[in-house]
Amino acid sequence: MELTGAQILMTILKEEGVDTIFGFPGGAVIDLYDELIRSDLRHILVRHEQGAVHAADGYARASGKVGVCLVTSGPGATNTVTGIATAYMDSIPLVIITGQVPTQLIGNDAFQEVDIVGITRPCTKHNYLVNHVEDLARILKEAFHIARSGRPGPVLVDIPKNIGVAKTDYQPITEVNIKSYNPTYHPNTKQLKKALNLLKAAQRPLIFSGGGVILSKASDELADLAHRLKIPVTSSLMGLGAFPGSDPLWLGMLGMHGTYRANMAVSQCDLMVAVGVRFDDRVTGKTDCFASGAKIIHIDIDPTSIRKNIPVTVPVVGDCRSSLTELNRMIVEEGIQADETTRRGWLDQIVFWRDEHKLAYEQKETIKPQFVIEKLYELTRGQAIVTTEVGQNQMWAAQFYHFDRPQQFITSGGLGTMGFGLPAAIGAQVAFPEKMVVDIAGDGSIQMNIQEMATAVQYNLPVKVVILNNRCLGMVRQWQELFYDKRYAHTILEHAPDFVKLAEAFGARGLRASHPDEVEATLAEGLETKGPVIMEFIVASEECVYPMVPAGKAITDMLLV
C-alpha cells in the first residue's frame, strides 16, 4: 500500500493507541496537519509550543500513556526544548514530532531551519532526523518503543517537509528490535537473595520510594512490602502518591523540605530500601551524611542511576514492579516477618519525631498559603489531580495535600520548570475529563504560561487554577531572607495583572479571596463552577516553607518553624 509520509505518521499514531495530540501548526508541518484534520485523532491547539509539550507531559503522567506533541520547525521546535528537558529529567514518555525544512535545504540556513536534533541530543532519550520516507515507519515505531520502555523518556522525531509528502510502499511493522537497546526488566535472583538477607537482619528499616514506582505501576507491590514487614515509607517529590499519604506507615516527603520525622528516620535507619529513585541533591543534602549508618538496597531499571550519587550495598537492576513482586514472593516463601518488639520501638521513635515537630503554621489575619492547600484538600476530599508550578506553591502542595494514589500529583521535579502547571493540568484534564484537576500556582510562575487559559476555554476544559499570590518570587525571596540578609534582589513583583479580570478576559471565571474567612467559600464556589476558573488568594508575602535544609547541609540540619 502506497502512502505519503503524512499518512504513515497518522497510521502509526493510531497503531500506537494515540488518541490526542497537543500541537501548534506551521509551514514545515502544514502537510502533516492537512492529513491530521482528515483523521479521527484529536488535536489540542495550544497557544505556545512549550505549552504543547507540558500538556502532552501532563497527559502522559496522568494516564500512563505516551504523550504526543506536534510542532513546526525553527522556533516552533526550539520552543519545545524546556518541556522536553522537563520530561527527560522526570523520565516521562513523550514523542515529539517536529517539522524540518526540506532535506535538500538542511544546512543552508533556510527559513525556520534549526538543528533540533543536535539541540535536544542531551535532553532526549533518543532522537531522529528522517532522511528517507522509507525509514519513517520504522523510526516512528522505534520512537514509541524507546519512549515507553525501560526508563521512560522523551523521543524526538524531526520530519523534513518533503518527507511528509513523499510516497512509499507501507508495510505494517509488528515488532521492534533494536540490537543495542535491551532494558533489564527481571532482577537477578542472587541480588534479591542478598536484599532478603538484609531485610531479615534489619531492626530499623526504611523504604524510600521514587517516581520509578509510579512509572512502573508498582504501588501495590510497594505497599505489600511495607505492610508485610511493617516498614515506614518516605518518598521523593516525584514519588508522592506511590504510597498512600493517609497510611499510618507514611512519613511524608524527605529532603530539603521534607518532614522532620522523614529526615530523622533516614539518618537513623539501619537499612534503606530505595525503589525507583535517583538520590538527587534535593533529597540527599550532604551526601556523606545521608543514611550514613544504613545499608542500602537500590532497585532501579536504569543501571546508570545506581551508585551514581550514593554508594549502595545491594544494587538490583530491574523493573520496580517485577523486582518487588519477586521480593515479596520470596518473603512469603521464607515466612519472614518483622520482629514485633524491635519494630514497635522503631515505629514509636518515628511517632516521637512526628509529634516533636509537625508541619505547622499559624493562621492569623492574613491568609496563609498552607491554609489554602489544607482547605483545598478537605473540599476535594483528597481526590483531585493536582498539578503545580514550581517554588513555594509546589512545596506547600507536596506537604499539605495528601496523595493517596499514584498519578495524582503532577509536578516538575528534576528540572523545576516554572510555567509547567497550567498546561500540564490541561493535559491531565484531557486524559480525565470527568475528574477534578487543580493547578496550584504562584503569581510569578502562573504568568509564564498563562496564555494557555485560552486553550482551556476553547476546549471547555474545567481546570481550576489556585494562585497563591504573595507578590513575589517566593522561593528565591525565601533564600534571600534566610541566606542573603534580606537583600531581595529583583524578586518583588511590584506589578501584576488583575487575575480576576484576566480570567474573565480569557472567558473563564475569576474569583479572589483576601481574608481567611473568604478562603473556604471561594474555593467551594470555584470548584463547583463549570468550566475553567482562576481563584486568587492574597497570601502572606513573607511566609517561608519549613522545614528547610540549607544547601550543602545534612538533611538533619533542618531550619524549623
- How far apart are the C-alpha atoms of 500 and 11, rounded to whole Å? 44
- Given the C-alpha cell 479580570, which residue does it identify? 501
- How far apart are the C-alpha atoms of 98 and 202, rounded to whole Å? 51
Q: Retrieve residue 248's grid coordinates.
A: 499510618
Catalytic residue status for 49? yes
Catalytic residue status for 475? yes
Q: Retrieve residue 80's grid coordinates.
A: 519545545
Instruction: Characterize the bridge pairing of strands 2-4 and 167-169.
Output: antiparallel
**H helix or E strand, kind and range, residue 410:** strand 409-410
Catalytic residue status for 161? yes
Strand order in the sheet with 409-410: 409-410, 385-388, 437-442, 464-469, 533-538, 509-513
Query: Which residues, other chains included, contact 454 with Cβ-Cβ below 8 Å and sequence gap of 6+?
Result: 47, 506, 507
**Three-state secondary structure call for residue 505:** helix
Burial track 268-292 (b if 16+ CB lie within 10 A, e otherwise)? bbbbbbbbbbbbbebbbbbeebbbe
- How far apart are the C-alpha atoms of 31 and 124, rounded to whole Å? 25
Strand intervals (E) in 236-352: 250-253, 271-275, 295-300, 314-317
Q: How many CA atoms lie within 13 A of 243 on its CB side?
A: 28
**H helix or E strand, kind and range, residue 214:** helix 211-215
Of 16, 49, 374, 452, which is the active-site residue? 49
Q: Retrieve residue 516's grid coordinates.
A: 481567611
407 Ramachandran zone, left/alpha/beta (phi>0; psi -120 to 50) = left
Is 141 within 8 Å of 172 (Cβ atoms)?
no
Of 89, 238, 395, 475, which is the active-site residue? 475
Query: Which residues, other chains included, contact 106 with Cβ-Cβ below 8 Å and sequence gap of 6+?
Result: 100, 113, 160
Of 15, 65, 112, 432, which is the active-site residue? 112
Catalytic residue status for 352? no
Q: Retrieve residue 522's grid coordinates.
A: 471561594
Of 10, 16, 50, 161, which is the active-site residue? 161
Catalytic residue status for 520? no
- Given the C-alpha cell 537583600, which residue does it identify? 487
Strand intervals (E) in 276-393: 295-300, 314-317, 385-388
Q: Retrieve residue 376's grid coordinates.
A: 483545598
Burial class (CB within 10 angstroms; exposed 0-12, middle 13-18, buried 19+) of 118: exposed
User: Whose CA is closest to 70, among 39, 107, 102, 36?
Assistant: 36
Q: For the CA atoms of the chain, what is the radius of gyration?
A: 24
Q: Retrieve residue 335's grid coordinates.
A: 515466612
Annotated active-site positions, please?
49, 111-112, 161, 475
